[in-house]
Structures are given as structure tokens and as C-alpha cells.
Amino acid sequence: MPATPYYLIDKSKLKSNMEKIAYVREHSGAKALLALKCFATWSVFDFMSEYMDGTTSSSLYEVKLGRQKFGKETHAYSVAYSDDEIGEVIENADKIIFNSISQLTRFADQASGIVRGLRLNPQVSTSSFDLADPARPFSRLGEWDVAKVEAVMDRISGFMIHNNCENADFDLFDQMLGNIEEKFGSLLARVEWVSLGGGIHFTGEDYPLDKFCARLKAFSEKFGVQVYLEPGEASITKSTTLEVTVLDTLFNGKNLAIVDSSIEAHMLDLLIYRENAKVLPNTGDHPYMICGKSCLAGDVFGEFDFENEIKVGDRISIQDAAGYTMVKKNWFNGVGMPSIVIRELDGTERVVREFSFDDYVSSLS
């Protein structure tokens, strides 16, 4: 067994998401691209690429990673490209989606050899987090003025619209899509493809997949467009755990257990969004606050109920640790960085990456 901490990606759990994605592709006609910003652990890309159409990206490095490691269809998007990188982006992409008319105008000619699109912002979103809400006031994410967009229609053949965020509610998705149809219908009818972005939790339990497929198909047929989905979290949800070991236990008014990891270094979104981790089954008579080992006072995974008293050396599996974790891990406090381990379909586990003191040293200079 590898030394903790490590991210454990379980292919059999990944497979159940992949099968739902394949089902949606088949029954809706939509194509599905992995959003690398959420998950970019390329050792499982050969497996995922059997079920998905390609990748979408948010930078030069992501588009290159998608092209080199995932293959198939490669979409390029970024909030802004630089003059220095645009050539390499275009070389590595099948489609490039610009965030603004000014970026489109700047690079349209250079990108004329590949498919070009523009991001639209419908100015409504499902996000309850201002930080993650692309429709927040003064958002820089996409164009919303139909008249301005009409003036550049000769340079694009499609749109990307991303305004769902951790949306597990089909009716809300349906309503969001209705807004888009109403607001941008005249534009949608003139293009060949529309990406609806990510943030739709259609691989979650009890999501009405057939209604979702029918809705996507109706949208596709209404405007005569190829629909794309860009699942990030939906692709890898519940596939991965962060495996940690208890290093110390304390009683400070509550029972605390300190583990060999840190939310800031290894599961950063828990800190940014002030959320709790998940531990299963979370039932029992022994409540503990599970804390990280960084110096941060608020380095707390959450409070959970355990079956037994926790002792130094015990192992804990932090659930649902694939999305936005490995892509954001960092060397805060020099805390040992989790290895990456893959559990194959036959149950064997293989370590695909370990990080050493030398990696820490060379992260700086």
C-alpha cells in the first residue's frame, strides 16, 4: 500500500460516470468534452477517451495537454490569449472560442484555419457563489449584447455559453436553457454549433437523464446546431478519495484528529468556498473534527461521526476528491504532496506519481 497522503482514482467509479456520459451522447446527439480546468490527471485519459469526444481548455498549457494526452476533438478557450501564445494555441486546437469581441477581432485572421467561436454571457446563472458566478455584476466572461455580436457573425460558426455551476436540478437547467433561447435565439439560428459549458451534474444519482437528453436534442434541432457539453466535475464525481493518516489526536473542547494533509494544499476549494469535506459513512457515536497539518488555524476538513475512537495511525478516506483538487495542489507549508494512485478495474493499484523534497525545492528557486 502506498504511503499517505495520496489521491486514489478508482476507475470502476469513474466508469459509471463515463457510461452516463456515453448514454447522453448517444441519446441526445451532444458531444462531451472533458473540462481540463477541473481534472487533468492524464494517466486516465486513455480510459476516459473511450467514452468522451475530447477536451476543452482554459489556457495554452491545457489545450496542449488535451491534444497530446487525450486526443480526439480539442477545444481552446481562454479568458484572454496573449500575442505570444496564440500561434501555439491554434496549432493545438480544432476549435478556438474567444471570450470577447476584442480578442476575436485581434486573432480572427490568425485563427482562420480552424473553427472559431465566441463566448456569450446570458447574465443569469445558477451559481449561489458570487466568486464562481459568471453572470456576476461586471463579469468579464463573454459577450451579451446581441447587436454587437451580430457585427462579427461572419467570423464565427458557434458559441460557448457556460452559466451552470454545480447545477443538479434539471428544471433549473431547463429554465436556464430557455433563457438562452429567448435571449440569443436569433444568433443561435445562424451558427453550426453551441457549447453549453459545464456545471451540469447530470451524472449524479437520480438525475433525469432521458429528460436531459430530450431537452438537448430539442435545442439542437430547433436551431440546427451540434451541441457540446463540457463536463468537469460531472466526469469525475465520486471517483476519487484523498487517503490520509491520523498523526495526532487532541481534546480541545471537541475531539480533534490531525491528518497528514491540508485543505489549503490538497483540497483548496474547501477553503476558498468554506465548505466541508465528505467522509463516509459519517455515522457513529464518536464525533471528531478532522484537521489538516498546516499552520493555518482554519485548516479543517470538517466534523464527522465515526464508529470508533480515532487513534494515531488510523486511515481516513476523504471522499469526492477529484474535482479541482489535483489541478490546484500546491506546496503551502512544504506539506508532503499526495501521490497519485490509480485503482484499475481489476482492483490492482498503481502509483503513477510521487512527489519528493526535490520537487518542493524546484517549485521555488
Contacting a second copy within 199-238 (CB under 8 A)? none
| Burial degree of 265 (CB within 10 A; 0-12, 13-18, 19+) | buried
Residue 111 backbone phi and psi in degrees, to 5 = -95, 15
Interface residue with a second copy among 248, 305, 309, 344 (CB under 8 A) is: 248
Residue range at the interface with a second copy (CB under 8 A); choices 17-25, 147-155, 171-179, 323-331: 323-331
| Burial degree of 83 (CB within 10 A; 0-12, 13-18, 19+) | exposed
Rule CB under 8 A: say whether 110 interacts with a second copy: no
Interface residue with a second copy among 89, 160, 176, 291 (CB under 8 A) is: 291
The CA radius of gyration of the chain, in Å to the nearest whole number, is: 22
Q: CA-to-CA distance for 149 and 100, rounded, in angstroms?
A: 10
Min dist. Cβ of residue 228 to a second copy (A): 16
Rule CB under 8 A: say whether 352 interacts with a second copy: yes
3-state class (DSSP) for residue 225: coil
Considering the complex, state which of residue 213 and residue 244 has its C-beta at the smaller distance from a second copy.
244
Min dist. Cβ of residue 152 to a second copy (A): 15
3-state class (DSSP) for residue 276: coil
Q: CA-to-CA distance for 240 and 222, rounded, in angstroms?
A: 38
**Cβ distance 81 to 105 under 8 Å?**
no
Min dist. Cβ of residue 290 to a second copy (A): 10
Interface residue with a second copy among 249, 278, 302, 314 (CB under 8 A) is: 249
Residue range at the interface with a second copy (CB under 8 A); choices 14-22, 147-155, 203-211, 327-335: 327-335
Min dist. Cβ of residue 244 to a second copy (A): 11
Rule CB under 8 A: say whether 266 interacts with a second copy: no
* Cell (9 digits) for 219: 435545442
Strands (DSSP E) found in 171-327: 193-195, 226-229, 240-251, 255-259, 278-279, 286-291, 300-306, 315-319
Considering the complex, state which of residue 276 and residue 330 has its C-beta at the smaller distance from a second copy.
330
**Cβ distance 77 to 59 under 8 Å?**
no
Rule CB under 8 A: say whether 133 interacts with a second copy: yes
Interface residue with a second copy among 110, 139, 179, 226 (CB under 8 A) is: 139
Cα–Cα nearest to 271, from 291, 298, 303:
298
Cα–Cα nearest to 56, from 109, 12, 13, 115:
115
**Count of residues making up the chain:** 365
Which 161-190 residues touch a second copy, going by CB under 8 A?
Answer: none
Considering the complex, state which of residue 222 and residue 350 has its C-beta at the smaller distance from a second copy.
350
Q: Is 282 left (phi over 0), alpha (psi -120 to 50) or beta?
A: left
Min dist. Cβ of residue 122 to a second copy (A): 14
Residue range at the interface with a second copy (CB under 8 A); choices 25-33, 109-117, 221-229, 244-252: 244-252
Interface residue with a second copy among 17, 28, 57, 167 (CB under 8 A) is: 57
Considering the complex, state which of residue 85 and residue 217 has its C-beta at the smaller distance from a second copy.
85
Rule CB under 8 A: say whether 67 interacts with a second copy: no
Residue 290 backbone phi and psi in degrees, to 5 = -95, 120
Rule CB under 8 A: say whether 115 interacts with a second copy: no
Interface residue with a second copy among 159, 173, 304, 332 (CB under 8 A) is: 332
Interface residue with a second copy among 60, 97, 156, 225 (CB under 8 A) is: 60
Considering the complex, state which of residue 180 and residue 341 has its C-beta at the smaller distance from a second copy.
341
**Cβ within 8 Å of residue 312, ≥6 positions away:** 246, 247, 248, 249
Considering the complex, state which of residue 10 and residue 264 has its C-beta at the smaller distance from a second copy.
264
Considering the complex, state which of residue 283 and residue 362 has its C-beta at the smaller distance from a second copy.
362
